[in-house]
């Protein structure tokens, strides 16, 4: 038996992935998101399909919440666990957390690192999958403005924050050669990601009709999860759907990598 922690399990890709993995009862699914009722209903569905699942509700929009969630997960998982970072936010407007940081920067980057820390310290993780986004190629990181969203734009902030986390996880892979780490673009998927009110929201929902169903993406991620190995020790490889690709140029840029590394370390150190 192995545990698989799946964040963002209440909706969209994560919900579909949890159901796809229910058919593999060897794993216990640990379902994470804010919506407790949806997680509990999903856990019950998984049990009905012969799988095993528990709901661990938690909020990634505050660093303190993320730390507490990480500690709860570290106390729950058994050794050899897989962590799938899937929760994500495409923000429609600039909103700050109680700590004065831009919310997507926290949900997509800083909080998953906070949550992950107690799990790394527990030594119970075997591998980590990061559901990132192909749009990281459009990411630019401004150390002075991105964390507080002073350079906010809906698309740019999504790209920037997904890029930050992908880069941080490359560093985690280098610092933890005992882990198998992969970062991937999951596909273009018809979910509620980025849903908004007004004409833009209506337009987006029309465009999304042509996108693939979450179940198609979930089957793809389940196939990747079934692989024996994702990356060489000390590295995180980049997959676009199921194909390994060279890291995009922006993710190889040393100045960007250093800026993300130093800013992230400074923010994480400031409790």
Ligand X SMILES: NC(=O)c1ccc[n+]([C@@H]2O[C@H](COP(=O)([O-])OP(=O)(O)OC[C@H]3O[C@@H](n4cnc5c(N)ncnc54)[C@H](OP(=O)(O)O)[C@@H]3O)[C@@H](O)[C@H]2O)c1
Closer residue to ligand X, CB minimum distance, 80 or 205 = 205
C-alpha dist (Å) from residue 143 to 129, 149, 263: 26, 10, 6
Closer residue to ligand X, CB minimum distance, 13 or 183 = 13
Smallest distance from the beta carbon of 82 to ligand X, in angstroms?
A: 16
Q: Which residues bind ligand X (CB under 6 A)?
A: 8-14, 33-35, 59-61, 86-89, 107, 131, 133, 185-186, 188-189, 191-193
DSSP letter, residue 232: -
Closer residue to ligand X, CB minimum distance, 193 or 204 = 193
Closer residue to ligand X, CB minimum distance, 8 or 118 = 8
Give the DSSP H or E segment for 157: helix 154-175
Residue 98 in 3-state DSSP?
coil
Smallest distance from the beta carbon of 178 to ligand X, in angstroms?
A: 25
Smallest distance from the beta carbon of 271 to ligand X, in angstroms?
A: 20
Closer residue to ligand X, CB minimum distance, 31 or 173 = 31
Any bridge partners for residue 239, and if so which? 184, 244
Smallest distance from the beta carbon of 215 to ligand X, in angstroms?
A: 12
Could you tell me if 153 and 147 are in contact, meaning their C-beta atoms sit under 8 angstroms apart? no
Residue 245 in 3-state DSSP?
strand
Smallest distance from the beta carbon of 61 to ligand X, in angstroms?
A: 4
Q: 256: which residues sit within 8 A by CB, 6+ positions away?
A: 140, 141, 163, 167, 250
Can you tell me the distance from the alpha carbon of 66 to that of 23, in angstroms, rounded to the nearest whole number? Answer: 29
Smallest distance from the beta carbon of 52 to ligand X, in angstroms?
A: 20
Closer residue to ligand X, CB minimum distance, 60 or 250 = 60
Report the alpha-carbon angle 180-172-192, nearest 5. Answer: 80
Closer residue to ligand X, CB minimum distance, 36 or 258 = 36
Smallest distance from the beta carbon of 107 to ligand X, in angstroms?
A: 5
Q: What is the dihedral of CA 21, 22, 24, 29, to 10 degrees?
A: 80
Other C-beta atoms closer than 10 Å to the C-beta of 219 total: 13
């Amino acid at each position: 038996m192995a545990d698989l922690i799946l964040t963002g399990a209440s909706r969209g890709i994560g919900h579909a992935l949890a159901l796809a993995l229910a058919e593999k009862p060897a794993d216990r699914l640990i379902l994470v998101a804010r919506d407790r009722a949806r997680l509990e209903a999903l856990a019950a569905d998984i049990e009905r399909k012969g799988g095993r699942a528990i709901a661990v509700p938690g909020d990634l929009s505050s660093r303190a919440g993320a730390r507490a969630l990480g500690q709860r997960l570290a106390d729950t998982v058994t050794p050899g666990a897989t962590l799938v970072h899937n929760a994500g936010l495409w923000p429609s407007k600039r909103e700050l957390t109680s700590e004065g940081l831009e919310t997507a920067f926290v949900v997509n980057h800083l909080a998953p690192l906070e949550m992950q820390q107690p799990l790394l310290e527990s030594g119970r993780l075997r591998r980590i999958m990061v559901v990132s986004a192909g749009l990281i190629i459009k990411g630019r990181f401004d150390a002075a403005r991105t964390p507080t969203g002073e350079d906010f734009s809906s698309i740019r902030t999504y790209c920037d924050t997904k890029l930050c986390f992908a880069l941080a996880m490359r560093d985690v892979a280098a610092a933890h050669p005992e882990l198998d780490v992969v970062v991937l673009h999951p596909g273009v998927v018809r979910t509620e990601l980025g849903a908004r009110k007004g004409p833009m929201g209506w337009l987006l929902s029309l465009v999304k009709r042509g996108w693939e169903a979450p179940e198609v993406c979930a089957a793809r991620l389940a196939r990747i999860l079934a692989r024996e190995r994702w990356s060489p020790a000390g590295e995180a490889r980049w997959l676009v759907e199921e194909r390994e690709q060279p890291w995009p140029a922006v993710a190889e840029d040393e100045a960007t990598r250093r800026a993300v590394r130093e800013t992230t370390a400074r923010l994480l150190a400031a409790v």
